[in-house]
Structure 1
Amino acid sequence: MKFLQKYILFPKRFGFYPYFWLIWIIFPITSLWPFDTAHKLVTAGLLAIFIWVYRNGYSVTKSLPIWIYGQYLLCVILTVTDAWVYLTLFTAWEIGSLPISKPKFRQYLIGYYVTLGACLLWLAIQVQSNFFSWESSSGVGGGIVMILFELFSPLAAKSISNSYRRREELRAQNSRYADVIKRGERERIARDLHDTLGQSFSTITIKAELASKLLEKKPEQVASELKKLQQPRETTCNWFGKL
């Protein structure tokens, strides 16, 4: 299990989100099947490396630049070999989701746009030379929508990530406020309890001393004083009952 968590599964703090994007790997895999040529086998190997690098990119460590720029390099290679420019979307949503500083995000964002620009330029050259048929995909309109989606994906991912992070911080802050309020209430009750018990015990002590003196001089008044002695205790019990 530790091996899976360390080398295979995504970090738990990202939840199901990274696995959702892996669903789209089905499309390039189905385009390669069956793996009956050397080109398809090599491409499948590169795709497997891309998935592995993509997974490691969610582990925010000192090696993060290797995993991010490794994805950029593989995106360029697979765009040149198979026109898979949409693989850049994996990295786009990844860099937008990572808990990294703004300078780091800008650095990876610039790298992303350079990579995307290089991939789109290559495809434009191939379309111009009729190596790839633009009409055979989703047409000019679909291509423009796809390009716009790729351009704004990292910014959208960053916005969603920041919104989720602010919501979590607000929830944690409210939890801290609730703890402070509870602690303050407990301290107030403890002070009230201390004052009430102190006053009750003082009254009991005084009346007990008075009763002991009356026992020698006026025994007939002792019963009356003992009844008065019960009043602070009853008051204290009532106060406890309200708590």
Structure 2
Amino acid sequence: MARKQFRFFPQKFGFFPYIWLIYLVFPILNLQGYSGFKLMAGYALVLLFLVTYRQLYWTEGKPYSAWLGLQMLIIVVLFIGFSPFNLYMAFFTSNFIGWYTDSRSFGRALTIFTALLASMFLLSLVRYQSMDILFMLPFLMMMLVTPFGIRSINRRRSLERELDEAKERIKEMVKREERMRIARDLHDTMGHTLSLITLKSQLVEKLVLKNPERAQAEAREIERTSRAALRQVRELVSEMRAVSVAEELAGAEEMLRSAEIALEVEGEVALPGVSDLTQNILSLCIKEGVTNIVKHSHADWCRISITMTAGEVQIAVEDNGIGVEACGSESADRRDGNGMKGMGERLALIDGSLTLAQRPGGGTRLTVVIPRVVKDGKDGETA
């Protein structure tokens, strides 16, 4: 069984928790001038404060409140027993109070915190009887306001996350509903027709020796029925919603923005005169190209160029990343992986082609070319 890797802070917070550790230098500096047992006790309290700081990133519920209470207690002890300037450590606690999502817990923690700050400030005025203590007052006000700002930011992030999840659920529901509609339409459209063809085929088999003329007539009827069924299927497929290039570019922009990659789009995104089937295939190619950029390129810029001429449509997806030649084993994935192979197979349906090459100046360029006039198929229908 694999061991879980130890982490000092949750990975989702990045370097943010480590930046706050810089401020622990100040309570350590405030311990200078002490010696013996008191100095060791001071170092122990700062170390315990560090433990509470770490645990508050990992816990929730009652344990979270317990660690937060212990942190407040350590600040009080360091304030009374060592230096009044240890009161600035309350900025740590102020930040963590803002993490409460429950209004009652937030209000209770903020009330206790406010009472402690007020008590320590008044105590410092009485003990030191110096106007220098008044310089703490603006910082105390900031400590009391900070929890509201932190809570507002966390609430907004939570709402954005819920909105993204809701969007994904809606997309899945739309896809499921579309599949169910197609299944119902296919059943209603084709069920009766296929049953009729089956019965007529059985009848032809019986009549082929007894009554050849009638058998031929029934065979012609089967042909007419099958052609009608083929037209119905094509009409059904044509009604299926295809993703246009313009819609896919909007999705690509959202994906690249999430990966902190800037996007430039050049050309006519509407592709007038290009069929829905062709636009759907081009959209899938753009999606695959953008996904490869996000996964492999290490780029911070991407450009999608659309060029239309009298004879063809060309779409180029390029980036300023490390380039396909520098990807090592990933290069083979980008050139010969299932995604590239699938793109080639889809483009072959509309006589299109693709190339993946190193971009001049660094990066990768994926080029997709399709003819604007598609050859007729054997059955006389347009491909």
**TM-score by structure 2 length?**
0.52
Task: Tell me the CA shift for residue 150 of structure 1.
Answer: 0.9
8 Å CA contact retained: 1:92, 1:154: yes
Cα 1:178–1:196, aligned 2, differ >3 Å: closer, same or farther?
A: same
Bigger strand share: 2
Map 1:66-77; keep pairs closer than 5 Å: 66-77=66-77
- Map of 2:47 onto structure 1: 48
- Map of 2:117 onto structure 1: 116
Q: Identity of counterpart residues, as a percentage?
A: 30
Task: Tell me the CA shift for residue 68 of structure 1.
Answer: 1.6
Structure 1: where are the runs of 5+ without partners?
none
SS of the equivalent of 1:10 reads: coil
Cα 1:78–1:86, aligned 2, differ >3 Å: closer, same or farther?
A: same
Residue by residue, what CA displacement relative to the aligned partner does 1:25-48 show, whole Å, maximum 9, x if unpaired? 233335557x98334432221111
Q: Select the residue among 127, 139, 156 that pairs with 2:149.
A: 156
| Stretches of 4+ aligned residues off by more than 6 angstroms | none
SS of the equivalent of 2:62 reads: coil
Cα 1:16–1:195, aligned 2, differ >3 Å: closer, same or farther?
A: farther
Cα 1:36–1:72, aligned 2, differ >3 Å: closer, same or farther?
A: closer
Larger mean Cα displacement after TM superposition, 70-79 or 114-123: 114-123
Residue by residue, what CA displacement relative to the aligned partner does 1:203-236 show, whole Å, maximum 9, x if unpaired? 2034325534653564235334324313444555
Aligned-residue CA RMSD (Å)? 3.1
8 Å CA contact retained: 2:30, 2:86: no
8 Å CA contact retained: 1:57, 1:68: yes
Map 1:141-152; keep pairs closer than 5 Å: 143-152=136-145
Larger mean Cα displacement after TM superposition, 19-28 or 44-53: 19-28
8 Å CA contact retained: 1:76, 1:118: no
Higher Cα Rg: structure 1 or 2? 1
- Map of 1:196 onto structure 2: 189
Cα 1:54–1:196, aligned 2, differ >3 Å: closer, same or farther?
A: same
Cα 1:29–1:193, aligned 2, differ >3 Å: closer, same or farther?
A: farther
Task: Tell me the CA shift for residue 115 of structure 1.
Answer: 1.4
- Map of 2:132 onto structure 1: 134
- Map of 1:225 onto structure 2: 218
Alignment coverage as a number of residue pairs: 230
Structure 2 residue identity aligned to 1:91: T
Cα 1:79–1:31, aligned 2, differ >3 Å: closer, same or farther?
A: closer
Structure 2: where are the runs of 5+ without partners?
241-383
- Map of 2:165 onto structure 1: 172
